[in-house]
Structure 1
Amino acid sequence: MFDTAIQTFSSPVVLFFVLGLLAAFARSDLSIPEPIAKAMSLYLMAAIGIKGGVAVSKSGIDLTVISALGAGIAAGFILPLFAYAVLKGFGRLDRINSGAVAAHYGSISVVTFVTAVEILTGQAREPGGYMVAVMAAMEAPAILAGLLLARGLGSAGGTQTTGEMLHEVFTNSSIVLLLGAFVIGMIAGESRFAAVSPFFETGFKGVLCLFLLDMGLIAARRMMESRSITWRLFVIAIFLPIVNGMAGTVLGVVVGLDAGSSAALGVLCASASYIAVPAAMRLALPEADPGIYLTMSLSITFPFNVLINIGLISAFSAYLTGHAGAMP
């Protein structure tokens, strides 16, 4: 576990994120223009999607892939239930805000996943390419579960019908690009991907470093500006990714995933959305407080996952799969 932590903290990807945090806390004027940040985001999602599709085209769709998808979808529905109970009980939030925050902690963070894949690959535990599809599949169930917990289908308070909300989720730019690139990769296969692979592979790590620099700046600045977070909510924002990450990793091992893919599922369960879900909540639950759900997911959970939890989940997955392999 100590070696895993050293490998995580010595990764340029993590160090650039730390640089962003430190620069923001020091009140530096360092910033990345919004159009450039948007372009980097599009590049990263397209790259991870197409490479995942190529990997699946090589391995094919088998019982492992189907099991991983089923595990991810089930986690997307179940994790918000646990988060809601903790937020309403220990966190002392009202029903609306508990449901809104719970949706974030059942959904996923694309950037956390991409960072984890990079770190796991550096540790010779590269997740299966099909985990990109699992990531995309976890988005909608968590939003639906959060809304059901907050107000139930068809009740007053939101500006969207259930159909409109589902359309918003499935046509979200992140989901469309990830799944679209994934399908392109599956159709193209390894041979045709070779023609564009230099663009998607050579610059990937460098772009990810700059993107995480920007995320560090944003996370730290939002944390300094927030006035809605109590000590109880801060504790929950650390507690949930630890418990969810361990549960997701165990689930991955149980359904037969390898160490890297089990760790990736754990990271997906540990991550919290700060892009797609906030957009959905803003429309479906306008009375929920963005100062709570955005600060918890982006400014507390996201840094914790990148700096600490990915390493913990990686070590835990290696331990579990190692012991599982030793069992008769």
Structure 2
Amino acid sequence: MDIVTEIVTTILAQLQKPTLAFLIGGMVLAALGSKFEIPDAIYKFIVALLLLKVGIGAGISVREANFVELAVPALLAAALGISIVVLGRFTLSKWRGVSQLDATATVGLFGAVSASTLAAGMAVLDDEGIAYEGFIGALYPFMDVAALVTAIVLARLATARKAATANVQGGTITMGGGTGGPAVEKGLIRGILVDTARSPAISALLLGIALGLFARPESVYASFYEPLFRGLLSVLMLIMGIEAWSRLSELKGVAHAYLFYGITAPLVHGALGFGAGLIAHHLTGFSAGGVVLLSIMAASSSDISGPPTMRAALPEANPSAYVGTSTGLGTPVAILSIPLFMALADWFVGF
């Protein structure tokens, strides 16, 4: 009974937070037939500001961290982000009726990191008096950017391959085989990588990271980006809620796939993160608290940088699928899993 109460309490708390509350608000407006809308130019401006803010904050965190201590956990975090996307893409997309594009966007968010879930994990450890590395926040961009870029590249690569195959007269292209196969594949991947790096969303994110690393943007970050952040994010989620409702009908018949993935993926990903944390512990003395937080980062799904990045980079993907699954299901499960990973870390490492 206590577990049920805790689950219900956690879900209600998530419903009251701006990220999910404004998303639902937008869906309600759309369901009621409201003509409310935000001009596309304003939407793009908001996305640019949000991603610049996320990037600058991440760059500052990385710059202030000890490079030697950060290197191993950072590489493992990036590998986790990539692995979660690749694993999820070849599982979720196998469900009958699930669009490969929607599946890739969804797993991209699950490979990225939820700042609010990470903050919740830190708060729990602080309350318990459990120590962890001060650079933990700096691991965020490594996992986050790696997952988002991997998802976008895989989605665009699949789209490009499909288009190339459809355009061939009298046969099909065999990528990686036949005359010119490897050259075509190499050129295609290079083009997708360049195109992804130049896309507005990833460009803003990478620019922010570079500014945080090599400039001194703390004053403008604290006086401009930080105060505006929550308000702009609420407007963005309102827009995505309206769009999500308009495309909700596309999920009929495959909703069970996203339900299953949203509930099980955080636990699987958290286990992967726990394993990576143990590797870091044995290689560098990474603390038990750090192992817990790396597990929580892997279990979480992006609620800040992910949705606008996917919306801008993959406009054809259905936000009802990727936002609903990650924020509506993945976040509560990830938060509820925090005690599990604390118990595992105490068992294997010891606080």
Sort the TM-score into its range (normalised by shorter chain).
0.7 to 0.9
**How many aligned residue pairs are there?**
296
Pairwise CA distance, 1:43: 1.0
CA distance, structure 2, for counterparts of residue 101 and residue 218 of structure 1:
14
Q: In the alignment, is the contact (CA less than 8 A) between 1:44 and 1:207 conserved in 2?
A: yes
1:39 and 2:45 correspond = yes
Contact 2:106–2:321 (Cα < 8 Å) also in 1: no
Contact kept? 2:110, 2:302, Cα under 8 Å: no
2:347 equivalent to 1:323: no
Contact 2:89 2:107 in 1 (8 A): yes
Whole-angstrom distance in 2 between the partners of 1:252 and 1:265: 5
Equivalent in 321, 324, 327 of residue 300 of structure 1: 321
Q: Cα distance 1:215–1:155, how it changes in 2: closer, same or farther (>3 A)?
A: closer
1:217 corresponds to 2:217: no
Is the alpha carbon distance of 1:169 and 1:18 closer, same or farther for their aligned partners in structure 2, counting shifts above 3 Å? Answer: same
2:311 is aligned to: 275
Q: Is the 8 A contact 1:55 1:129 kept in 2?
A: yes
1:262 matched to 2:263: no
- Equivalent residue, structure 1, for 2:104: 103
RMSD: 3.5
Q: Over residues 150-189 of structure 1, what are the superposed CA-to-partner deviations in whole Å (9 max), with x where a residue is unaligned? A: 8979972379933322222222221121122112112236
Please tell me whether the aligned partners of residues 58 and 138 of structure 2 are also in contact (alpha carbons under 8 angstroms): yes
Residue 71 of structure 1 is aligned with which of 80, 86, 89?
A: 80
State the one-letter code of the partner of 1:107: G
What one-letter code is carried by the residue in structure 2 that aligns with 1:264?
M
Instruction: Give the secondary structure class of the aligned counterpart of 1:275.
Output: helix
Which one of 214, 222, 236 corresponds to residue 187 of structure 1?
214
Unpaired stretches in structure 2, ≥5 consecutive residues? 1-5, 125-135, 169-186, 278-289
After superposing the two structures, state which structure 1 stretch, 214-223 or 116-125, moved more: 116-125
Q: TM-score, normalising length from structure 2?
A: 0.71
Partners of 2:196 and 2:219 in 1: CA distance: 32
Q: Structure 1 residue 172 and structure 2 residue 199: aligned?
A: yes
Q: Secondary structure at the match of 1:157?
A: helix
Alignment match of 2:63 (pick from 57, 64, 67) = 57
Name which one, 1 or 2, has greater alpha-carbon Rg. Answer: 2
Decide whether the 8 Å contact of 1:103 with 1:277 is kept in 2. Answer: no
Does structure 2 conserve the Cα–Cα contact (< 8 Å) formed by 1:107 and 1:277? no
Matched residue type, 2:299: G
Following TM superposition, by how much is the alpha carbon of 1:6 offset from its aligned partner in structure 2, in angstroms?
3.8
Structure 1 unaligned spans of 5+:
280-289
The answer as to whether partners of 1:260 and 1:314 remain within 8 angstroms in 2 is no
- 2:176 corresponds to: none
Q: CA, structure 1 residues 76+125, in 2 after alignment: closer, same or farther (shift >3 Å)?
A: farther
Out of 262, 281, 294, the position equivalent to 1:241 is 262
Could you give the per-residue CA deviations for residues 107-130 of structure 1, whole angstroms, max 9, x where no partner exists? Answer: 2389x85xx324553675597233
Per-residue CA deviation, residues 165-219 of structure 1 (Å, 9 max, x unaligned), is: 2222222221121122112112236xx5134312111121111112111111111
Which residue identity does 1:58 align to in structure 2? E
Q: Distance in 1 between matches of 2:313 and 2:88?
A: 14
> What's 2:231 paired with?
206
In the superposition, relative to structure 1, how do residues 219 and 153 fare at CA in structure 2: closer, same or farther (>3 Å)? closer
User: For the Cα contact (< 8 Å) 1:20–1:214, is it kept in 2?
Assistant: yes
Structure 1 residue 8 and structure 2 residue 44: aligned?
no
Given residue 178 of structure 1, which amino acid in structure 2 is its aligned partner? Answer: L
Closer, same or farther: CA 82–146 of 1 in aligned 2, 3 Å: farther
Instruction: Give the superposition deviation at 1:309.
Output: 2.2
CA distance, structure 1, for counterparts of residue 55 and residue 103 of structure 2: 26
C-alpha contact 2:157 2:188 (8 A) present in aligned 1: no
Shift of residue 140, structure 1, vs aligned partner: 4.3
Q: What is the alpha-carbon distance in structure 2 between the residues aligned to residue 313 and residue 128 of structure 1?
A: 17
Counterpart in the other structure of 1:283: none
The CA distance in 1 between the partners of 2:207 and 2:234, in whole Å, is 24
